[in-house]
Amino acid sequence: MRGMDEASGSLFSYVDLEARIPARHPLRKIRQVVNDALASLDAEFEALYTDFGRPSIAPERLIRASLIQILFSVRSERQLMEQMQYNLLFRWFVGLGIDDPVWVPTVFTKNRDRLLTTDMSRKVMAAILAHREVAPLLSDDHFSVDGTLVKAWASMKSFQPKAIGTPPDDDPGDPPGPDATAEDLTEATEAETDPMPRPTRQSRNAEVDFRGERRSNATHASTTDPDARLYKKSPGTGAMLCFIGHALMENRAGLIVQGDLTQADGHAERRAAMDMIHRHSPGSTRQLTLGADKGFDAAEFVADLRQACVTPHVAQKTRYSAIDGRTTRHEGYALSIRNRKRIEEAFGWAKTVGGMAQTVYRGLERVRSRFILTMAANNLARLPRLLGA
């Protein structure tokens, strides 16, 4: 017998939202780890808010909403709010009931800017890694480091020459001074009667020919995102306005333990590597190892690592390498060189799933905090498989 295609709305629903999520859904384990991590940050959240005024979006819900946006490649916060209207999985993960109203996108954005700073993103990542089930997966001695380009939310047309300082002129709208002559008053009166100039109308996205024009970060800057820098990763590739994202990975499970993002610079990766290793293991007396590619094979960087009690497992350059036989003769060197390539998986996930191929945020601080949170989301995406959930 053929069924009838008739829709009848229900006045009430008696199915709990928790019961609608499959028992073995990967988000269940992720949500458990995230909730435990956010509970450990309760004192940090309490210090950020006052005891009076209009209640804001709960910081726990805001962070869970940002994580679900990264995990499911939602391209904007406006679309995230739209999907939370009808996506029961999103509502369950964030902590909204089936009848709870969804936030206005602009309100969500304002609250996100106030909460998710670089410091808070690092604390969220550290709390996830310190979870009782996650901490045993991490290695305390063997790490890898690398960097990747993050394209800025700015067009090459916005890369304009920097303004040259000019002496301030008197405002023509000011009244004449007490010592003004009659001729000055006559000239001012005549100038007021001149017809208003009509600028020629230009296209909003006009064609621009950059051929033969020399542009560099010393003479030009982006009018859209002044923190972005013109940079290319390797010879033969085109330069673009971008930042450099950095990650420090432990070699046992391949989880990212530190993240950072800086302005594009030829020495930025080495500086960030030293900062991250010191931030992760401050004052360590153990003999750590740090794997890296040939871009880190510099005498000054290798010397700094050795002084910090870190063995530089850096891939050797063909000529003038700072890595000698006292490092390459050990079996651990070959293991680090092989394992260091796994950090590219985190970068690939961040760009294809996490939306970091080209950021939609402007300003170094916002892009950095988002990049670190994306690295934390990458760890969460791998936890169900690592924990056998």
For the chain of 389 residues, list the mean pLDDT of each consecutive stretch of 10: 70 79 94 96 92 90 97 96 95 92 94 94 97 95 96 92 61 46 46 53 69 85 94 86 97 96 94 94 82 94 92 92 89 93 96 96 96 97 89
pLDDT value, residue 176: 47
CATH top-level class of 138-157+222-368: alpha beta
pLDDT value, residue 367: 97
pLDDT value, residue 211: 73
pLDDT value, residue 234: 81
Question: Token pair for residue 368?
Answer: 């950095």
Backbone angles phi, psi at 210, to 5 degrees: -95, 5
pLDDT value, residue 188: 42
Domain coordinates of the chain in residue numbers? 18-115, 138-157+222-368
Instruction: Please report, for residues 42, 83, 89, 101, 355, the alpha-carbon distance to residue 53 in angstroms, rounded to integers and kept in the order given.
Output: 20, 29, 31, 20, 35
Alpha-carbon dihedral 377, 381, 384, 385, rounded to 10 degrees: -140
Q: Which of 359, 373, 377 is nearest to 259 (CA)?
A: 373
pTM, two decimals, is: 0.86
Residues 59 and 43: beta-carbon distance below 8 Å: no
Residues 274 and 294: beta-carbon distance below 8 Å: no
Alpha-carbon dihedral 213, 216, 221, 222, rounded to 10 degrees: 70
Those residues whose C-beta lies under 8 Å from the C-beta of residue 230, and which sit 6 or more positions away, are 159, 215, 216, 217, 220, 239, 240, 241, 264
